[in-house]
């Protein structure tokens, strides 16, 4: 199951999220020379290796232990169930650890002959990274804030200076916090309203159970206040003496909003709200005006919102509208007026307003529309910004709250992805926007509300050199088997022949209404420059063409997602972009489930597949209500505990359950031992079963990060190294046109 982002807040925390997103786009996957790996011989032969090295080239053979269960009168055998450690989330079963370590040793041995290629690719990827990169400073109150990397550093430092000019101060030093840590992730940071305190949260093992601390920015002292098991979201009180937060319970679920008063122990924190429904989770954010904390409860299909004034956390939270099944809404506040985005009358949402004093009295501002998918809104003091998608293309609509007049921001290319960037202040004379396309690197604009002009503040630099004129991008439409037109974004180096002679990398996600934007990634250049095309299939299950596009890829319509991906691949073959067996495919989390399903359905279409932290043991996971995300996921996948129809549907496509005795393409599978979203045993069980059942001799690799979680390694160069490994896998298994393959 995928990473579900925390509620959007336009604060320094939003800057952290945006910088992380930018890093992910620029560095989609990293590692440094400090990985401990030595440069190897690209063509080293078996005869040159030691006996121990030859032993590691024998694939591990996981033991089968009889295990079965019966549900709805259906008996399912699961001989690899033992790979789930009974002590989880502690993993100390020696048989389990031995198997995972054996798979890691096998991965290292198989990849060792390609070490030279991996090192070359890593050098290319690293050379495209501006090592001393920095964000564009943004004013928030009395200060300007930004982050920057020191040259060679894996992690950022965070800075501020007085808005009118003055001394630059380091407010948070990630490299110092990450020193001697195998894994480090900053989960968020938030400066108090008076500018004197900084709350920040750190995860040191990938479990996403963060420890939150508070730093005095005037003295540099870290206070005794410590919040364990923090899980995304923090709102300071207006007086800066306390804050609201959510934590993770023993099942890694956020059920409670808590109020912490500085100088008191966590055990004294007061409950503000507790959610009783096991399928609902709780999140918090704040209004753009900072007058209200926004308490949101919900599932993937239903939501409920309460407001609490930041001036008085002891007040009773005000319910906006009681939950109704399959109705989602979110709220922002401008003065005494609410702006509510809701999908009650149309799946693409509408926007209504209501008085803060009478939140149930709704007046429609923007009606629902088949053409305009309303994705979000931010109510500034002087403008209402609505983020939309029209025919799959991002748009930003600006509404004058005094006159009701509206206009759209005009962007420079015909195909792109764009949206609001970091805009922390309530009054906005300019809007910070983020922008990129398949050929344009991540760009930061300021949009002048007075004259409508775009000022370019930053374009992500590619130090090793990049000329967008060397590449071409297209937007295609491919007909799926049920007649639905599926959009595809594709990029390649100019001169790419469309005669079926070249390989292609096809990527998709296809779940939770998350659209993969047609954006830029510097890492792709290593494939494009070697003769590959890169394509994004905008398949159902995402919300690329509106909310209905998402609904058409979930629950009973889930198989549309898999069929779309296969049909896009076949359509690209028919159009001459590649040929059967020359497609390298990849996806992660729910996108890893996609990979598992499509190699069961159409294995001959693919030349190599990378499935990262793949959600492949779908039936077992959805049957286990004790797992962290399961109850909240039934609205996405179905509830096989209560419904036999859901049980049979999930079993019919669950990649682990549908592994068959046929040939599979070469597979690279990754896992994280501490992953709370897709538990490590899902990919481990899948690989074990594939090894036993598949009929081919193609490479099958499982790499488990023993000290990380869902996102893989944490440092920007460590994750780049893992991307280099994936690209090397594709080039060696699916062909390298640069070498005449």
Q: Which residues are catalytic?
A: 589, 675, 710
Q: The dihedral of CA 71, 72, 76, 80: what is its sign?
A: negative
Helix and strand counts by DSSP (H, E) for the chain: 14, 37
- CB-based burial of residue 500 (10 Å sphere; 0-12 exposed, 13-18 middle, 19+ buried)? middle
Burial 313-327 (b: 16+ CB within 10 A, else e): beeebeebbebeeeb
Cβ-based burial of 90 (10 A; exposed 0-12, middle 13-18, buried ≥19): exposed
Q: How many other CB atoms sit within 10 Å of the CB of residue 9?
A: 22
Number of other CB atoms surrounding residue 218 within 10 Å:
10
Give the tokens for residue 392: 């799959």
Here the tokens at position 194 are: 């008076």
Question: Alpha-carbon distance 83 to 101, whole Å?
Answer: 13
Query: Which neighbouring-strand residues pair with 586?
Result: 507, 610
Report the b/e string of 63-83 with b at 16+ CB within 10 A: eeeeeeeeeeeeeeebbbbbb
Q: How far apart are CA 599 and CA 492, in angstroms?
A: 25
**Between the CA of residue 419 and those of 229, 440, 722, what are the distances in Å?**
32, 15, 29
End-to-end CA distance of the chain: 36
- Sign of the alpha-carbon dihedral angle for 58, 589, 653, 619: positive
- Edge-to-edge, what's the strand order for the sheet holding 363-366? 329-334, 337-342, 350-355, 363-366
Contact 387, 103 (CB under 8 A): no
Q: Which residues contact 147 (CB under 8 A, 6 or more apart)?
A: 15, 16, 19, 134, 135, 156, 157, 158, 159
Which has the closest alpha carbon to 298: 275, 269, 314, 318?
275
Q: Which residues are CB-contacts of 414 (< 8 A; sequence separation ≥ 6)?
A: none
């Amino acid at each position: 199951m995928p990473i579900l982002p925390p509620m959007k807040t336009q604060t320094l925390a939003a800057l952290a999220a945006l910088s992380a997103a930018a890093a992910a786009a620029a560095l989609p996957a990293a590692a440094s020379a400090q990985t401990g790996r030595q440069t190897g011989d690209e063509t080293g032969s078996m005869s040159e290796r030691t006996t121990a090295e030859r032993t590691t080239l024998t694939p591990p053979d996981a033991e089968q232990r009889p295990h079965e269960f019966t549900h709805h009168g259906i008996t399912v055998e699961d001989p690899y169930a033992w790979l789930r450690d009974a002590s989880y989330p502690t993993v100390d079963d020696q048989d389990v650890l031995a198997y995972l370590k054996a798979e890691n040793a096998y991965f290292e041995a198989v990849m060792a002959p390609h070490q030279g290629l991996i090192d070359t690719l890593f050098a290319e990827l690293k050379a495209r990274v501006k090592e001393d990169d920095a964000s564009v400073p943004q004013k928030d109150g009395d200060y300007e804030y930004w982050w920057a990397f020191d040259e060679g550093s894996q992690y950022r430092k965070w800075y501020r200076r007085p808005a009118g000019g003055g001394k630059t101060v380091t407010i948070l030093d990630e490299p110092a916090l990450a020193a001697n840590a195998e894994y480090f992730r900053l989960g968020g940071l938030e400066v108090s309203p008076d500018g004197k305190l900084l709350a920040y949260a750190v995860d040191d093992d990938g479990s996403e159970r963060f420890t939150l601390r508070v730093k005095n920015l005037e003295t540099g002292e870290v206070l005794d206040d410590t919040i364990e098991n923090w899980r995304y979201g923090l709102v300071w009180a207006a007086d800066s003496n306390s804050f609201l937060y959510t934590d993770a319970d023993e099942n890694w679920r956020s059920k409670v909003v808590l109020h912490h008063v500085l100088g008191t122990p966590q055990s004294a924190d007061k409950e503000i709200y507790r959610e009783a429904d096991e399928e609902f989770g709780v999140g918090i954010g704040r209004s753009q005006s900072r007058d209200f904390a926004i308490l949101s409860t919900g599932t993937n299909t239903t939501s409920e919102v309460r407001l609490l004034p930041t001036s008085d956390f002891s007040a009773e939270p005000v319910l906006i509208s009681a939950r109704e099944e399959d109705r989602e809404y979110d709220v922002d506040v401008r003065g005494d007026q609410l702006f509510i985005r809701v999908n009650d009358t149309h799946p693409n949402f509408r926007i209504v307003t209501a008085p803060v004093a009478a939140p149930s009295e709704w007046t429609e501002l923007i009606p629902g529309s088949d053409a305009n998918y309303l994705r979000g809104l931010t109510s500034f003091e002087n403008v209402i910004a609505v983020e939309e998608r029209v025919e799959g293309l991002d748009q930003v609509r600006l509404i004058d709250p005094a006159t009701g007049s509206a206009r759209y921001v005009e962007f420079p290319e015909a195909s792109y992805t764009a949206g609001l960037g970091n805009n922390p202040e309530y009054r906005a004379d300019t809007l910070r926007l983020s922008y990129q396309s398949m050929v344009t690197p991540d760009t930061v604009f300021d949009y002048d509300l007075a004259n409508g002009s775009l000022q370019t503040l930053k374009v992500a630099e590619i130090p090793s050199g990049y000329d967008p004129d060397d590449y071409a991008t297209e937007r295609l439409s491919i007909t799926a088997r049920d007649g639905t037109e599926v959009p595809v974004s594709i990029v390649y180096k100019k001169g790419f022949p469309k005669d079926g002679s070249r390989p292609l990398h096809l990527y998709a996600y296809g779940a939770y209404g998350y659209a993969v934007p047609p954006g830029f990634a510097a890492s792709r250049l290593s494939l494009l420059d070697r003769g590959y095309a890169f394509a994004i299939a905008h398949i159902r299950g995402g919300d690329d063409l509106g909310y209905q596009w998402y609904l058409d890829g979930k629950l009973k319509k889930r198989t549309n997602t898999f069929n779309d991906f296969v049909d896009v691949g076949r359509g690209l073959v028919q159009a001459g972009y590649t040929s059967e067996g020359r497609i390298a495919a990849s996806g992660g989390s729910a996108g890893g489930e996609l990979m598992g399903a499509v190699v069961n359905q159409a294995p001959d279409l693919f030349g190599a597949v990378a499935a990262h932290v793949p959600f492949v043991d779908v039936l077992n996971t959805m049957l286990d209500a004790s797992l962290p995300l399961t109850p909240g996921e039934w609205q996405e996948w179905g509830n096989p505990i209560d419904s036999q129809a859901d049980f049979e549907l999930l079993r019919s496509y669950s990649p682990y359950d549908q592994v068959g005795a046929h040939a599979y393409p070469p597979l690279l599978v990754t896992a994280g031992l501490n992953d709370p979203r897709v538990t490590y045993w899902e990919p481990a069980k899948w690989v074990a079963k594939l090894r036993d059942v598949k009929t081919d001799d193609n490479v099958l690799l499982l790499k488990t990060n023993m000290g990380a979680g869902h996102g893989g390694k944490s440092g920007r160069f460590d994750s780049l190294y893992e991307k280099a490994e994936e690209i090397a896998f594709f080039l060696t298994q699916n062909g390298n046109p640069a070498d005449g393959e």
